[in-house]
Amino acid sequence: MGKKRILLVEDDPVVLKVTKRRLEHEHFAVVTAVDGEEAVTRATANGPVDLVLLDLKLPKFDGFEVCKRLKANPATAAVPIIIFTASSVSWQRLIDQCVDLGVTALIRQPFQSEELLKKIRQALHLDEEGPAHG
């Protein structure tokens, strides 16, 4: 089986570049999108991705709307979604919204790459020390 494909959705070019590079270093295939509309399209381009790593605040429509659209699509409904955000909204409120939408994990920005990789491995059911391809 090939590398696990992650859709990385982030509108900040620096965060996008650094995160993409880190994920590729861990042997993930990374597809990127810079807004909500592009995220929904890219999630199914060339077959569904294995995981969506999603910023909450995005142009066109936000991460919650992306989640709703992905969960409503049979091709992407089961794809794990990890949201990351620097939002100043109540953390408990964000957790509640994510649970309601079926989000796999929520990470506060700025995050440590090891924390992110641990959440990704858990969501993809990968061995903690093993490679990203199965």
- How confident is the prediction along the chain (134 residues), in pLDDT tens digits per residue? 579 999 999 999 999 999 999 999 999 999 999 999 999 999 998 888 999 999 999 999 999 999 999 999 999 999 999 999 887 678 888 888 888 999 999 998 888 889 999 999 999 998 654 444 44
Q: CA–CA separation, 117 vs 38, rounded Å?
A: 24
Structural domain for 57, as ranges: 5-124
Q: How many CB atoms lie within 10 A of CB 81?
A: 25
Q: How many domains does the chain have?
A: 1
CATH of the domain at 117: 3.40.50.2300
Q: CA 115 → CA 13, 34, 44, 121, distances in Å? A: 21, 22, 26, 10
DSSP string, 52-88: EEEESS-SSS-HHHHHHHHHHSTTTTTS-EEEEE---
Q: How far is it between the farthest Cα atoms of the chain?
A: 41
Would 110 be classed as within a structural domain?
yes
Judge whether 95 and 106 are in contact, CB under 8 Å: yes
Q: How many residues does the chain have?
A: 134
Q: What is the pLDDT of residue 117?
A: 94
Would 133 be classed as within a structural domain?
no
**Model's pTM, two decimal places?**
0.89
Would 36 be classed as within a structural domain?
yes
Would 9 be classed as within a structural domain?
yes
CA within 13 Å, CB half, 85? 19
Would 130 be classed as within a structural domain?
no
